[in-house]
Copies of this chain bind each other. A is one copy, B any other.
Amino acid sequence: MSVSINVLETLLQELSGILPGNMAPLFAMTTQVKLEEGEAYIREGDKSRKLAFIEKGILRAYSVKPNGDEATLFLRWEGHFIASHDTIIHHLPARFIYRALEPSRLVEINYDKLEEILRLHPEFEPLRNYFLLKMLADALEGIEGFVLLSPEERYQKIIESKWDIVNRVPDKYIASMMGITPVSLSRIRKRLHIKGKKADGN
């Protein structure tokens, strides 16, 4: 139990200077969540305002389009925070599905309860600040890729900067996250292989 909270405790201490011994008010309200591979954490229509820190595993946020295709919004893994922005920001039912791609372990807190705690213990405020900034940075990084890079460049950047993650996830989800089809990603991979061989002198 306390083992899996350790990372968050360390993070919070770095952010706020609060010692783990004084973090009880916050962590008393958190829940450990374990997800099996393929298990949904948040479903379309859910209204629960939960926010989670990913201790281990990978989660995929996606929606099912009218034609049945799935569109992946993003992937998040160890060290990231995950939440349905529809419920947290807009107080609306979730429009996306958040599903574990691997057996995963989360530290969860209800956002309403977090706000209560923050009213009583504003010293924890740096934590909220941190995860909002982190989620914002992640989102903007995604937009950057779409605006500045072609699909091919986008894929190159992903395998360069997140090779370990790409290797843990089926390509079709990577393709979907890139806004292209799996067929197209396969062709991009083929082109890059050719270029790679040429660059190697073969």
Residues of A within 8 A of B (CB): 63, 65, 71-74, 85, 88-90, 118, 122, 125, 128-129, 132-133, 135-137, 139-140, 142-144, 146-148, 176-177, 179
How far is the CB of A9 from the nearest CB of chain B, in Å? 22
Chain B residue at smallest Cβ distance from A145: B146
How far is the CB of A173 from the nearest CB of chain B, in Å? 11
- Cβ-defined partner of A129 (8 Å) among B128, B144, B146: B128
- Cβ-defined partner of A89 (8 Å) among B122, B137, B142, B176: B137
Q: How far is the CA of A148 from the CA of B136 in the complex (A)?
A: 19
Interface centre among A88, A90, A142, A147 (most CB of B within 10 A): A147
Q: Which residues of chain B come closer than 8 Å to A137, judged between CB atoms?
A: 85, 89-90
How far is the CB of A70 from the nearest CB of chain B, in Å? 10
Tell me whether A74 and B132 are in contact in the complex, defined as CB-CB below 8 angstroms, given that A63-B148, A65-B148, A137-B85 are known contacts.
Answer: no
Are B89 and A147 within 8 A (Cβ)? no
Chain B residue at smallest Cβ distance from A125: B125
- Cβ-defined partner of A73 (8 Å) among B125, B136, B143, B177: B143
- Cβ-defined partner of A136 (8 Å) among B63, B125, B135, B177: B135
Q: How far is the CA of A133 from the CA of B111 in the complex (A)?
A: 13
